[in-house]
Structure 1
Amino acid sequence: MIPKILIIDDDNDIRNLISVYLENEGMETFKAADAFEGLELLKSIDVDLIVLDIMMPKMNGIQACLKIREEKSMPIIMLSAKSEDIDKIQGLTSGADDYLSKPFNPLELIARVKSQLRRSHKYNLEIKNNRKIIEIGELKINTDTRQVFVQGKETRLTPKEFDILELLAYNKGIVLSIQKIYEAVWKEDYFKSDSTVMVHITKIREKIEPDPKHPIYIKTIWGVGYII
C-alpha cells in the first residue's frame, strides 16, 4: 500500500519541496495552503501521516493539531521556524508525534516520516490482532464468532444487538450519539422520533447487565447518547 501524506504549510516552496522528496520515496502526497484547507481535505481523504507547519495565518498548527486529534489518530510531524523548547513542548502536547525546526534537512524529514509510518503500522497491526476478543470487566466479546460471555456464561444477542454492543465496545470511553449508533448499525439516515436504538439498548442490558436498571456496562449520558 502506498503511504498517503498530507502536507499543510502556507509556504508554497516548502510544500512542493517536501512533496518532491516524499514522492521520490514512493509516497503519495496531498497539499494544503492553510489549516482550513487541510481539515477540509481530511474529510474526504484517509491519510497515513500529516506534516503540519505551526506558524500559519487564520489557524496555526497547534490549533489545527488539536482539531485533528478530536477524530484522527494518524502520526503528525510538526514544522516550525522557531526552535525554542516551549514551541516544541506546545507542539507535542497538542498531539503531535514529532517535531522538526526550520530550516530542516529534507532527508531528515524523510527519515522521520518513515519512522513514524513504521511505528503506526506496527501499532495498527497489534490493535488489529487484539481486536478479536474485547474484555470489559466480566464481559467478553468475541468479534470473530460474534459470541458474548458474561461471567464466563454465553448470552445470545440478535445480530443488531451484537453490532451495537461491538460498536460501543470498540469505542470504549467515547460517548456515541443515538444518531451515530443508528447510522453505523442500520446504514440508514436517522430520524429523531425513532426509538429503535433505545429499544435495542434496553434488550442488550437485559442480557448482559447484572441489574439492567442500574447498568455497569452501557451507561446513558442524558441528552447525548451511550457509552461503555
Structure 2
Amino acid sequence: MAESHHILVVEDDDDINRLLCSVIRSNGHVPQPAYSGTEAELYLGQREWSMVLLDLMLPGKRGEALLEEIGERYGYPVIVISAKGEQQSKIAALKAGADDYMTKPFDIEEVAARMDSVLRRHRRWPQTQADGPALLRHKDLTVDPEAKTVFAGDVQLTLTAREYDILALLLSSPKKLFAKANLFESVWGEEYFGGGENVVNVHMSNLRNKLAKANPAEEYIETIWGMGYRLKS
C-alpha cells in the first residue's frame, strides 16, 4: 500500500481549494484546507507536514511571508500555485525556499505529477539504505539520511527538501564535480532544460547562505566556473 501524506493546502479561493484537496485525496493522501495565511500559520506548528501547496495572494499573512517562515522554521516542501506568472515572481519564490512553482490556471494531472515528484525527492535519501544509512560527514558538517537532519558543528540547519537533497548528494560523492545539468537531473528527477541553470543557481545560493550563516568561518562548497560544483576540501 502506498504511503499516505498529510498536505496543507493554502488557497483562499474555495473552489480551487476544494479541487486541490480532491486531487490530494484521489492520490491517497490527507489534505488540510486553509483559506488565509493566518490560518495556515496556525496549522504549520500543529503537526509534521509532508508538503504545503501555497497560493501567494492571500488574506491575512501574505503567501511570500508564509513561504519564508516555512523555509526558516520548518523546511517543509512547498509547491507554489499562483496567478503570478512573471519570471520575477517565480525566481523570488524559489529564492525564498519554494521547491516548485505552478501558474494558474493549472492542469489537474500536472499538479498530481509534480506533487508525486516532490514527495519522491523528499523521501529519497532515507530509502536508499534500508538497513540504516550511514552518516554523511564533511568538515564539521553531519548529515543523517535517516533522520534527515543537518548539523554544522552544534548548529542544526533548517533546509528545504531540495537544499537537503543537493547537500546530501554532494556529501555522498565528496570528490565528484557535479555539473549543473547533473545536479538538476539527480535532484529534480527531470531532464535538464533551458531554465534549469537558474533553478540550480537559486537553490545552491540559498543552501550556501544557510551554511555560511551556521558557520561564517568555513566554506563547504566551491564553484568551478564553467563546470559546476563540488565540496571544498
Runs of 4+ in structure 1 deviating by more than 2 angstroms, as ranges, are 123-140, 168-176
Instruction: State the TM-score, normalizing by the size of structure 2.
Output: 0.57
Structure 2: unaligned runs, 5 residues or longer? 158-214, 216-233
Cα RMSD between the aligned structures?
3.1
Counterpart for residue 174 of structure 1: 155
Native 8 Å contact 2:150 2:156 kept in 1: no
- Give 3-state SS (helix, strand or coil) of 1:69's partner: helix
TM-superposed CA distance for 1:21, in Å, is 1.2
Larger Rg: 1
Native 8 Å contact 2:54 2:80 kept in 1: yes
Q: Percent identity?
A: 29
What count of residue pairs does the alignment treat as equivalent? 151
Native 8 Å contact 1:55 1:80 kept in 2: yes
Partners of 1:74 and 1:139 in 2: CA distance: 21
Native 8 Å contact 1:134 1:169 kept in 2: no
Aligned AA for 1:101?
T
TM-superposed CA distance for 1:128, in Å, is 8.7
Counterpart for residue 123 of structure 2: 121
Distance 1:100 1:44, change over 3 A: same
Structure 1: unaligned runs, 5 residues or longer? 143-167, 177-218, 220-228
- Give 3-state SS (helix, strand or coil) of 1:30's partner: strand
User: 69, 72, 76: which one pairs with 2:71?
Assistant: 69
Aligned AA for 2:155?
I
Instruction: Give a deviation string over 1:113-140, Cα, whole Å, max 9, x none.
Output: 0010011110344599886446464999
Counterpart for residue 225 of structure 1: none
Counterpart for residue 80 of structure 1: 82
Counterpart for residue 29 of structure 1: 31
Instruction: State the TM-score, normalizing by the size of structure 1.
Output: 0.58
Native 8 Å contact 1:81 1:102 kept in 2: yes
Partners of 1:25 and 1:138 in 2: CA distance: 40
User: 39, 42, 48: which one pairs with 2:41?
Assistant: 39
Instruction: Give a deviation string over 1:11-44, Cα, whole Å, max 9, x none.
Output: 1111110001110111111111111211211211
Instruction: Give a deviation string over 1:72-101, Cα, whole Å, max 9, x none.
Output: 222100011121101111111110000000
Distance 1:72 1:127, change over 3 A: farther
Matches within 5 A, 1:79-118: 79-118=81-120
Partners of 2:125 and 2:7 in 1: CA distance: 18
